[in-house]
Structure 1
Amino acid sequence: MNPNIPSIEQLKEIALPAPVSYAPQTWGWWVLLGLLVITALVIAARRYWQWRRDRYRREALVRLAQLQQRSDDLNALRELPELLKRTALSMPNTNPPVGASLLAKATRHSTHEVTDTPLSRAGSLPQGPAPFGGKDWQTFLQQHIRQPLPADFSQQLAQLAYAPDATLRALPAEHRQQLFDTCKHWVEHHHVAA
C-alpha cells in the first residue's frame, strides 16, 4: 500500500449537532403561544355558551318539524302560535330582572330610598312578549328579526289559534306551508341580545 493515500481506518464519524428543539427559544414566542391558547379557550367557551343559550331554539325547531310532518292536523296548526309565543318567552334577556324598574326609579329620584320588597315588585310587569297580542305581537316579532315578516303575520297566528275548525280546514296547503316556513324562519333567525 501507498503510505501517501489515507486508509479507511483513519476516517472517523462526524459528530452530529444536538437536535433542534421544538420549544420556542425566546420569551416572545412563549407570549404569542399563551395568547393563542387563551384566544382558543375564549372562543371555545363562547361557542359553548351560545350553544347552551340556543337550546330553546333547537327544541322549538324539533317541535316545529314534528308539527310540520302532520300539517294536515288542525291541532298542529293551532299549536303554531303557542310554539312561537313559548319560543319568544324562552329567549334570554327578553324580560328585565325583577326590580329593574325600581332601580330605574331610584336612579331618577335619588333623594327617595326605594326598597325592593315583594309588594313593590308586584307593580312591575314583565316587558317581554307575554302581554303582547295583535300589533304589539307583530312589532315584537319584527323587532327580533332582520328580514321583514308578512304584514299580517300576527293576524294569521291569531286566526290559527282562534278561528273555527272549518276556517282552518279551508286553508290551502300552500298557505299552511308558508305559515310553517315563516315560523321556522323566525325561530332560526330571530336576534337575541348578548
Structure 2
Amino acid sequence: MESAAKLDPMMETALRSLHDIAMPAPVSWWPQTWGWALVAALLAFAVLLVIFRRIRRYRANGYRREALSLLEGISDRLRHPATRPDAIQDLAEVLKRTALAAWPRDEVASLSGDGWVRFLDAHDEDGTGETLERLLDDFEYHGADLPSNVCGDLVIAARKWIEQHHVSA
C-alpha cells in the first residue's frame, strides 16, 4: 500500500506544473466600433420620436374622447321619448363643439343649415353625412319627433364622424 501511495517523480513533477483552467474575460456588451454606437443612438432617437408623437396625438385627440363620453350620455337619453327632443339638441351641440375644438373658430362658429351640413360632409371619411344631414335638417330645426329606430343610426353616425373626421394639419 505504501508503494501505491508513492508516485513516480516524473508524475509528481507533471502534476505540480498543472495550473487551473484560465477562463477568458467576459465579452463586453459595449459596441466594438463607432458604427454600432451610431446605430444604437439612431434607434434610441427613433423610439423617443415615436413616443413623443403618440403622446402628442393622444393629447390632440382629447376633444374626441370628451365628445364620445358626452355622446354616451346622449345615447341613453335618446332611448326615452320624454328626453328625446333635448337629446337631439344636445347631439347637434356635441357635433358643433367637436368641430369648434378641431378647426379655427372663425371657420366653424358661423356655420348653420346647409353650410353646416356641407362642412360635416366635407370632413366625413365614410359617408355618415346623410344620416347627420337628416338630423340637422329635419329633426333639430323642424322639431320633428325622432322615431326610435333612427336613434341608433344617429348615434352611430355621430360617433363615426367624431372618431374619423379629418383635420388638416
Per the normalisation by structure 2, the TM-score is 0.83
1:88 and 2:99 equivalent?
yes
Q: Give 1:119's aligned residue.
A: none
Identity %: 35
More helix by share: 2
Q: CA deviation at 1:3?
A: 4.2
Q: CA deviation at 1:60?
A: 0.2
Distance 1:65 1:140 in 2: 24
1:138 and 2:138 equivalent?
no
> Of residues 58, 63, 66 in structure 2, which corresponds to 1:56?
63
For structure 2, the 5+ residue unaligned runs are 1-6
Instruction: Report matched runs for 1:25-44 at 5 Å.
Output: 25-44=32-51
Q: Give 2:160's aligned residue.
A: 185
8 Å CA contact 1:79, 1:161 repeated in 2: no
After TM superposition, the runs of 4+ consecutive aligned structure 1 residues lying more than 4 A away are 3-9
**Bigger Rg, structure 1 or 2:** 2
Q: Give 2:31's aligned residue.
A: 24
For structure 1, the 5+ residue unaligned runs are 97-125
Higher RCO (CA-CA < 8 Å; seq separation 6+): 1
Instruction: Report matched runs for 1:34-183 at 5 Å.
Output: 34-71=41-78, 72=80, 73-74=83-84, 75-91=86-102, 94-95=103-104, 126=106, 128-151=107-130, 153-164=132-143, 167-168=144-145, 171-183=146-158
Q: CA deviation at 1:133?
A: 2.1
Per the normalisation by structure 1, the TM-score is 0.73
**Matched AA of 1:22:** W
Aligned to 1:70, the other structure's residue is in SS state: helix
